Structure 1
Amino acid sequence: MKKSKFSVLSLFLVMILVLAACNGGSKETSNEKEEGTSKSTGPKVLNVNNSSEPGSLHPAKAQGTHDSWILNHTFEGLTKKTEEGKIVPAVAESWESSKDGKTWTFKLKDGLKWSNGDPITANDFEYAWKHALNPDTAADYAYQLYYLKGGEAYNGKKGKEEDVGVKATDDLTLEVILEEPTPYFLDLTSFYALFPINKKVQEENPDWALEAETHVSNGPFKLTEWKHKESIKIEKNDNYYDKDKIKLDAVNFALIEDENTAWQMYENGELDLAYPLPVDKQGQLVNSGDKEFQNGPDLAVYYYNLNTKVKPFNNIKVRKALSMAIDRKMITENVTQGGQQPAYGIVPPGIPDATGDFQENTGNLFDENVDEAKKLLKEGLAEEGMKKMPDFSILFNTLDAHKKIAEAVQEMWRKNLGVEVKLENAEFQVKLDREKAGDFQISRAGWIGDYVDPMTFMLWETDGAYNDADWSNKEYDKYLKESKTAMKPEDRMPILHKAEKLLIDEMPIIPIYFYTKPYMVKSNVTGIYAPINEYPSFIYADKK
């Protein structure tokens, strides 16, 4: 009985001490949070949102930012880019090129390992690049390897694999031979289509990149969980050569198509980084002085594809009329509200010309003019034997910003041209698949430069992998071919200016605006930066 009373009293005293400690701890933690210096004793986990379920986390099969944002944190190529955009060694420790610029020799770092412990060798790059070029792989980005000698011929079933200009001369040496000198080739080696893949893994399981359990990579993080259409988790890769500089233990991607939902999660503390943002929030934040709001340039253009194989979008006058009837300034100021610049060409600011900036030197390649648009539409329809526009729709992937832009364009065409258009939304991967199949009339699109050169925006070469407008012009093709063989900027840049002008003159696509990169990141997260042609990078991020 005495023992029982003593136990109760002891328990009571212990509870008082525990409560006091908890209250004291809560007060201290609260103060630390207010000062932005809260300390975490558990794993450092960053929570972000990815706007769509990835189609594949295979470097050769990836198609868009919903894939590449994760790939850029789980893989690494021969080179990588610093925050300032400088090309620096990654898997390669050094390289050199021949005087004619056609032969490149890369020396790999010794002792590198895949996330499963296998050694990384030059053979992994030779195998990966030839795998992407293999016509049976059906890699959309195979064309980025056409710069290799014999690359296009092999991909087009007109050449042999052994004739492709990439060869591992030993485990740590990769020799690359180009068809022609390519000024931006070194930049391209940091792009995800040129990442290595593990040959043994690929040959044992061709579907290795579709599940976390079988995924093998070589970057700072490795894929450890993939709940399809729900979430993805990547964790620090202890086999990464620079692992001591990686501060985060894991990154959770919530797969959220609705940016308004992502914003609510950010406000509730469920996300540490939110991108993209709801357009109305962007407008409020641009000049707010909010320290968590980040914004900067983006090497990217927002545009509409016009299916040139479907009447009346095969008619240049109709295409021009639709473009000239859009008020881009109204869209950037009242809809997107993120400091975007109206686009009257396809190449965004931020790319060096022979002198100055390429886009600034280009200027506006067309004007908005409602009266001229009405005239062109009438003439174009008459040429196609039509009295009015047939039923058609704008296809866009499920994102509120895309819907609001489409609604603005819908109203402009109704008001300015008397044209009625329907709106149709779909999941991002579904939209991409429909574009490849030509199953659309007009579709929303965006393009982020794969490298810093105007050539990365010249997508509309005949039968090009991303020529979703299905447009063809022999003179345009000729310009692109000529620019690929000219090494000096003063020789090749004027050719690319001609190509862009020709493209806009025929208007198979409708440029809308040049992107910016507005995103939110919590104040206790440091080390995140946004390369000009990539989504925000958190490779070297830290969380207090």
Structure 2
Amino acid sequence: MPPFVFRTALVEPTAIDPYKAQETEGILVCKALFAGLLRQTARGSLTPATAHSWECDPSGRTWTFRLRDDTCFSDGEPVTAHSFVRGWERALDPKANTETAYHLAGVEGFDDVRAGRTDRLVGAVAVDDRTLVVRLSHPDVQFDLKTVQPVFSPVPLSAGPALDQTFNDQPIGNGPFMMDGPWKHGHQIRLVRNPRWWGEPVALDAVHIDILDPVTALDDEYAGFLAGRYDYARIPPERLPEAARHLGGAGFLEEEGAGLHYLIPFCHQPPMDTVDARRAVSHAIDRQGLADRLFHGRRTPAHSLLSPWFGGAHAPAGDDDPTAFDPEAARAAALRAGLPSGSVVDFAVNTGAGHEGWTSAIAESLHQVLGWDVRLRVTDARGLVDHRTSEAASGLCRAAWACDYGTPDNMLYPLLHSSCTAPDADGTAHGDNEGRYVNSEFDAALTRARACTDPEGRNVEWRLADAIATRDLALIPLWYRTDQRVFDADRLTGVAIDFDGNPTLTTVRPV
């Protein structure tokens, strides 16, 4: 019988090593290679993984994780509490300067390691091989959720420092799959089943991932699926009706996710350094009209940062809704901001992911409603990151956020907390608050939410924080996250979209 192989495609990941894996593509590979303390279901709840049990003390500052005694890396080295401490300290190496370090920011000693004063993260303690104790600088009653992000993964002794290119390109993990040779940059990543995997049996023998040209990736991926080269693919927006019509009920998947599509307004300098400037942009966008026209009604317009996926933390917009389509209000706000017709505004966008249609439509809306000269700055995904983290970034930037774990904190804190701007000496941002938004009232609400043991009390604080940020248009929300995918239902079963928006490789079975 030939090997049972899952074939798909993606654009070049930033990293597949857990110290830096961050976007959907990198997380797909990294989570196939590594298993953390806990797992996350599609709805964001936690189940055991390498840790079989865990608990937090009443203060919300000390967490204890008890590990299984039957897990090992694909090279045979046992996974212990020391493996986790090693992985966390490696990820915080200041020479690596990884963008994902903020997930560990609550652990005692974080600042000292990041600053290079020590390489020991004092808050992460391997009491013995099977007991990991984590001490936090401040209460965080949802710290366990954070541990599903790859930066919390264990690594073997052979990992070396974070900038070890050999391990970066062929990581050795403890997950259901292992690398089948090193990452062939710009070409392919191949995985095979890990024979030492300790979890539920996996049916797939291998996973073959082609790396596509970022300029044409989305169209090429879908075309590859239609041609039979790929078993699973994303769908260009203009092809959604076709995909739903022909594959609905069979190989068509659609899931509302914990995330948001939005515009970053660079709040630290003109022209977006006032609320009126940002209101002018927001009121000039007909979200529902664009969703109907460009996404065929398969996007939900966003009138807040937290989507209905978050349940009680989501709140509908109030009477003075800054996201309502209102051309007159948009023009009045633009004049108050000193941005009359003819004003020049940069709008940075990236190619290759199906954004061209709606970003051009928004640029045209701003021109038609406000008379602005909107200049599209078109680049690839990596170029967009370089642009929006630079001190020179101004105007607007296309962005999206898919939560790493199922709590509003994971959206509100990294994207908008003042500590997450993290500019270096050159002004380059190294946190995810790339718009450089700062509001002490917003920060205080998040601090209270982290310490609150009552779920409804946390929801109150999150709704308040969301209301503050939406009022300020710290980010300009467009649509909540919806994932649509197609898969070969004649060949595969058990395919679903996971919390990260990726295929559930461990559940795939042959028909």
Aligned length: 490
Residue of structure 1 aligned with 2:404, choices 436, 445, 450: 450
Percent identical = 24
CA contact (8 A) 1:220 1:539 kept: yes
1:58 aligns with 2:17: yes
Residues 27-53 of structure 1: CA deviation (Å, up to 9, x unaligned):
xxxxxxxxxxxxxx2011111121x21
> Which residue number corresponds to residue 231 of structure 1?
188
User: What SS does the corresponding residue of 2:507 show, helix, strand or coil?
Assistant: coil
2:476 match: secondary structure = strand
Deviations 1:217-276 (A, max 9, x none): 11111122422112211111112112x61111111111223211111110110000002x
CA distance in 1, matches of 2:96, 2:186: 25
Question: Are residues 1:202 and 2:156 paired?
Answer: no
The answer (yes or no) to whether the contact 1:245–1:540 under 8 Å persists in 2 is: no
Q: Could you tell me which of 326, 334, 337 is aligned with 1:369?
A: 326
1:339 to 298, 323, 347: 298
1:507 to 2:473 alignment: yes
Contact preservation (8 Å) 2:261, 2:400? yes
The code of the aligned residue for 1:238 comes to P
Considering fraction of residues, name the structure with more helix. Answer: 1
Which residue of 1 is the match for residue 425 of structure 2?
none
Preserved CA contact (<8 Å) 2:40 2:499: no
Which residue of structure 1 aligns with residue 4 of structure 2?
Answer: 44
Contact 1:115 1:217 in 2 (8 A): yes
Match of 2:423 in 1: none
Whole-angstrom distance in 2 between the partners of 1:377 and 1:216: 54
Q: Distance in 2 between matches of 1:369 and 1:64?
A: 34
Matched, 1:402 2:382: no
Secondary structure class of the residue paired with 1:341: coil
Q: 1:217: which partner in 2?
A: 173
Q: Describe the shift of the 1:211–1:118 C-alpha distance in structure 2 as closer, same or farther (beyond 3 A).
A: same
User: What does residue 249 of structure 1 align with?
Assistant: 205
Conserved? CA contact 2:96–2:163, under 8 Å: no
Task: After TM superposition, list the pairs within 5 Å mapping 1:179-190 onto structure 2.
Answer: 179-190=137-148
How do 1:416-427 and structure 2 match up within 5 A? 416-427=369-380
Distance 1:296 1:255 in 2: 24
Distance 1:425 1:117, change over 3 A: farther
| TM-score (norm: length of structure 1) | 0.84
Shift of 1:374: 0.3
Rounded Cα–Cα distance in structure 2 between residues aligned with 1:179 and 1:534: 32
Selected match of 1:191 from 134, 149, 155 = 149
Q: Following TM superposition, by how much is the alpha carbon of 1:342 offset from its aligned partner in structure 2, in angstroms?
A: 0.2
- Alignment-mate amino acid for residue 519 of structure 1: R
SS at match of 2:208: strand
User: Structure 1 303/84 Cα, relative in aligned 2: closer, same or farther at 3 Å?
Assistant: closer
- Determine the C-alpha separation between the residues in 1 that align with 2:408 and 2:224: 37
| SS in structure 2 at match of 1:513 | strand
Q: Secondary structure at the match of 2:373?
A: coil
Tell me how far apart the structure 1 counterparts of residues 164 and 172 of structure 2 sit (CA, whole Å): 12
The answer to whether the Cα contact below 8 Å between 1:286 and 1:339 also exists between their aligned partners in 2 is no
How far apart are 1:377 and its partner, in Å?
Answer: 0.4
Cα separation, 1, equivalents of 2:162 and 2:334: 56
Contact 2:87–2:152 (CA under 8 A) maintained in structure 1? yes
Confirm or deny: 8 A CA contact 1:297 1:532 kept in the other structure. no
Find the residue that maps to 1:445 and give its secondary structure.
Answer: strand
Deviations 1:281-325 (A, max 9, x none): 113334553511111111110001112233211122111101110
TM-score relative to the length of structure 2 = 0.90
Q: Distance in 2 between matches of 1:238 and 1:265?
A: 30
Instruction: Show the 5 A alignment for 1:97-116.
Output: 97-116=56-75
- Alignment partner of 1:247: what SS? coil
Match of 1:320 among 266, 279, 282: 279
Letter of the 2:355 partner, please give it. Answer: H
Partner residue in 2 for 1:525: 492
**Partner Cα distance (2:298, 2:22) in 1:** 27
Name the CA shift for 1:530/1:228 in 2 (closer, same or farther; >3 Å): same
Distance 1:228 1:162 in 2: 33
Please say which structure displays the higher CA radius of gyration: 1
